[in-house]
Amino acid sequence: MTTRDVWDPGRYERFQFERSLPFFDLLALVCPVPGLRIVDLGCGTGALTRRLHDQLRPLETVGVDCSAAMLKQCEPHVTDGLSFRVGDLGALDLEGRFDLVFSNAALHWVEDHPALLRRLVPLLNPGGQLAVQVPANHEHPSQTLAATVASRPTFAEALEGYVRHAPVLSATRYAEELHELGFAEQSVASRVYVHELPDREAMVEWVRGTTLTDYERRMPADLYEKFLEEYRIEVARVFPEATPFFFPFQRTLLWGQLDG
């Protein structure tokens, strides 16, 4: 199996405005306390980490990501108290504790969310806050059709049978997990963000910039071109062309605070 760094910051940032909406909703859940130490897990290009840092004016913010291409884009955002480093969210090796563990649209790349949340709690100081947004649109055809194509024999061999299943939990389960982990205060919400994209191909581009990277990194480039071709055909079967193209996107936002 091939695994490549297939994150394309240009493609990802094409929908920067749409993607920033849940980020600002998530940020609004955070209690702004002076002198915070913050970690942003899966910081991507760092543009939103910079917004987080500028708005909360913490003592320190550290952005963590595993993609060299994404981290390269973070470089211009480095400023007093704001730094970025390479790290794997599945095996975090961060030094010290934080007052805010923040993550926008990244934790859905890590399996087993109950176990993941259990690993995040020890990163927090007493009174620490956890703020996470994860996409929860895995039932939308833009996602299920990718799994349909991946299951076809042409691709299943290269993928060694791998089909992406989103590890995200229901909003209710997240609330239960936060409760069990000792978050004295919490807020969990499921929200549908409605987007009007220029056309159907724009939705394909959106999915290419995120979910499809999981297939792209597992197969040779020429096979991935074929995968995309078949994915486009399936998408066209389900969605008639429309301009603008309506793209509803469900997400879950969770916030919790430990006792001080």
- Give the interface with ligand SAM as residue ranges (CB under 6 A): 7, 19, 23, 42-44, 48, 65-67, 70, 87-90, 104-106, 109-110, 210
Residue with Cβ nearer ligand SAM (88 or 185): 88
Q: Which is nearer to ligand SAM, 90 or 244 (CB)?
A: 90
Selection from 92, 105, 98, 27 nearest residue 66 by Cα: 92
Q: What is the number of residues in the chain?
A: 260
Which strands sit side by side in the sheet containing 82-86, from one edge to the other?
82-86, 60-65, 37-41, 98-104, 124-135, 245-258, 183-197
Question: Which residue number has the CB closest to ligand SAM?
Answer: 44
Q: Which is nearer to ligand SAM, 18 or 230 (CB)?
A: 18
Pick 28 or 238: Cβ nearer ligand SAM:
28
* In the complex, minimum distance from the CB of residue 109 to ligand SAM, in angstroms, rounded to a whole number: 3
Nearer to ligand SAM, 23 or 98 (CB): 23
Give the shortest CB-214-to-ligand SAM separation in angstroms. 9
One DSSP character per residue, 45-92 reads TSHHHHHHHHHH--SEEEEEES-HHHHHHHGGG-BTTEEEEE--TTS-
DSSP-derived letter for residue 141 is: H
Q: How far is the CB of 233 from ligand SAM (least distance, A)?
A: 26
Shortest separation between residue 64's beta carbon and ligand SAM, angstroms? 6
**Residue 138 phi, psi (nearest 5):** -65, -10
The strand pairing partners of 37, in sequence order, are 60
Which H or E run contains 111?
none
Q: What are phi and psi of 52, to 5 degrees?
A: -60, -45
Shortest Cβ 184–ligand SAM spacing (Å)? 26
Both tokens assigned to 123: 């990163």
**Which of 70, 204 has the CB closer to ligand SAM?**
70
Cα–Cα distance, 89 to 91 (Å, whole number): 5
In whole angstroms, the minimum distance from the beta carbon of 63 to ligand SAM comes to 8
